[in-house]
Structure 1
Amino acid sequence: MPDIWFYHLETTPLDQALPDLLEKVAQKGWRAYVHGHEDDKISALNDRLWSYRPDSFLAHGREGDDLEGHQPVLLGTSGRMANKPQVYLSVSPTDLPDVSGLERCLIVFDGNDAEHLTWARGQWKQLKATGADLAYWKQNDRGRWEKMQ
């Protein structure tokens, strides 16, 4: 079972926080699969990754693209993880696929969305009951991540 880290968004919206998280994944040489349950959300994140900063580029693609299996970052709604990632990122309240064999699972949830927050709390309780190695990261007032004990 991978390390499972929960990221509680409070001050920064997902489309601004996700590029930074994905850059950290890429710095480790890992591939990532970003899983959402709404195609509109995945489309918006795809657009954002092309334009989040003018001086950088984060190679990525979407499920269904010809080269989906070769993408360092793959965005999708199926949970298939066709790019064989080391890191799975959940960005919507959706069933987690089998993440065994991965290095890390990141559950990124919006603290201002009651449904997403309730879902994340349920995931925490369920995973804790299985003995999974969990960590909880919360944004401070400046939007920086702080690991909570």
Structure 2
Amino acid sequence: MSQEPPLPSQVRARVLADHAKLRKSIAEIRSLLGAPTGRLELADESQLAVATRALLDSLEAHLALEDQILLPTLATIDAWGPERARKLSAEHAAQRETLSSLRALLSTEGAWTFVPRLQRFLDRLERDMELEEAEELDESLLREYPIRADLGGG
């Protein structure tokens, strides 16, 4: 007995809930970066490393979730679906490279020298989520019962 794929609206809700969790992790890291002295103390460095690793793990799981439920949904949602799915898949590949690079830096550099790159990453991640929500997760695209394009011609 095969399980029915989730409705597009369910996919949208699941991905948006994941985005909310990622934003919470980003806010936690930003609060650690907002130390009053502008310098991270040793305890803060340790907390920053732990929080950053947790965010990277969460983002990796999020990308896997999107690959599992969002990509197939986008691919069949309308005539532009395959192109949307291809674009998102390419973005995921680039994000995975960034995750790998950040993990390597985190293990070889102190948190303080890592901060500028981390801040740029957080900014880009927030922009990527906003763009994804405006485009691939738009409510009019991922509605309860989508109108699928029939490209069969018959």
What is the TM-score of this pair, normalised by structure 2?
Answer: 0.27
Larger radius of gyration: 2
Which one has the bigger helix percentage?
2
**Which structure is higher in strand share?**
1
TM-score where L is the length of structure 1: 0.27
